[in-house]
Structure 1
Amino acid sequence: MAKYFDVHPENPQRRTISGVADSIRADELVAYPTDSCYALGCRLGSRDGISRIRAIRHLDDRHHFTLMCQNFAQLGQFVQIDNDVFRAIKAATPGSYTFILPATKEVPRQLLHPKKKTVGVRIPDHAVVQALLAELGEPILSSTLLLPDEEEPLTQGWEIKERLDHEVDVVVDSGDCGTEPTTVIDFSGGGTEIVRRGAGDPSRFE
């Protein structure tokens, strides 16, 4: 049965955030809100967490996982960025964008796209996630909480608790955070490719 935390969306309770961070450190799988729908998240190097996310979402090994980062400095540890891309990402963050970039050696191999050696990264504009990332001190390995054969992600904490009670360890509820996933921009091929149009305005990358 999943633990359930009710967190204030703008002023998250420090003790609760600390408890969620401890759960992630203990290799537990967490469902948590972001600035563009809910996500499944686990510790960066968690093999069990990765396999559980893949099982819940029916994902294959070509799926791009996302590293949810606190800030630009942290993001820069895990992906290779040239000057033009640096400026483009810096101007768009924090926000509802995921960027696909070549990974550094800091990224566990099981997270990489098997052929491209890339990974998704993003910096969320959400007080609860920012507080959690600050407490944790490292990125959260994440994937949108979109269940198989469903067109929209789950958006209510109580519903996630009800439906995934025996598949996740923790549910963090801070109210509705929308149904639209991030806009995904792929910089890994030398140009700029809009892979998915979502919550972030894609026009700045066109």
Structure 2
Amino acid sequence: MAKILKIYPDNPQENLINEVIKTLNNGGLIIYPSDTVYALGCNIFDIKAMEKLAQLKKIKLEKSQFSIICNDLSHLSDFTRPVETSTFRFLKSHIPGAFTFILDANKSLPLAYKNHKTIGIRVPDHPIPQLIVEKLGHPIASTSIKDDDEVIEYSTDPELIAEKYEHLVDIVIDSGYGDNIASTIVDLTSGEPEIIRQGKGII
């Protein structure tokens, strides 16, 4: 049964954030708010948690395209190949923000990403995921919560999300209503920004 934690962006309680960190370190799945839509997250270094996340999305882990949530650009070199100065400047000017950036992956990716040639990096403009990553000490894997209703596309009400996922995840962070527009996906592998999906972020 998922535990619902009411954590608000303007004053995130440290003890509740610590509870989230403990859950992630123990291989748990969380649902958390971002600057776009609510998302599912887990510890990128916990292969069993990653498998649970893939199972939840009804995909094979090796076929997954889970993005990596960072709290700044300091983790970039951990997972990606060196980028051109112009690309780095572009990233810096759009982070934090409602973007997922596709970059060339290096060979130091966590086990769950071992065959990936590219990786999606995201730095949400929202204090809660930033604080989680900061306290955890490394990024988390993430995927947006889709709604079963094709018209709505994304779930925005944390209470309804908690109801739907109560037996599937360990923690649902209730931070009030979320947005229903996902991040803008920008491919930077060619050196020039190419929009793959137009979302909330405007270039």
TM-score, normalised by the number of residues in structure 2: 0.91
| One-letter code aligned to 1:94 | P
Distance 2:190 2:48 in 1: 30
1:141 matches 2:130: no
| One-letter code aligned to 1:108 | P
Measured after TM superposition, the shift of residue 109 of structure 1 is 4.0
Residue 25 of structure 2 is matched in structure 1 by 25
Q: 1:177 to 1:76 in 2, by over 3 A?
A: farther
Residue 16 of structure 1 is matched in structure 2 by 16
Structure 2 unaligned segments of length 5 or more: list them: none
Residue 168 of structure 1 is matched in structure 2 by 169
Measured after TM superposition, the shift of residue 129 of structure 1 is 1.3
Measured after TM superposition, the shift of residue 75 of structure 1 is 2.8
Of the candidates 84, 87, 99, which is equivalent to residue 85 of structure 1?
Answer: 87
Q: 1:155 to 1:18 in 2, by over 3 A?
A: same
Q: How many residues align?
A: 200
Q: CA RMSD in A?
A: 1.8
Distance 1:143 1:154 in 2: 13
Residue 99 of structure 1 is matched in structure 2 by 101
Matches within 5 A, 1:55-204: 55-60=55-60, 61-80=62-81, 81-111=83-113, 114=115, 117-147=117-147, 150=150, 152-201=153-202, 204=203
Measured after TM superposition, the shift of residue 96 of structure 1 is 0.4
Measured after TM superposition, the shift of residue 55 of structure 1 is 2.2
| One-letter code aligned to 1:66 | S
Range moving further from structure 2, 92-101 or 70-79: 70-79
Distance 2:176 2:43 in 1: 24
Question: SS at the partner of 2:79?
Answer: coil
Question: SS at the partner of 1:98?
Answer: strand
Measured after TM superposition, the shift of residue 65 of structure 1 is 1.2
Same amino acid, percent of matched pairs? 34
Measured after TM superposition, the shift of residue 137 of structure 1 is 1.0
Q: 1:132 to 1:84 in 2, by over 3 A?
A: same
Measured after TM superposition, the shift of residue 44 of structure 1 is 1.1
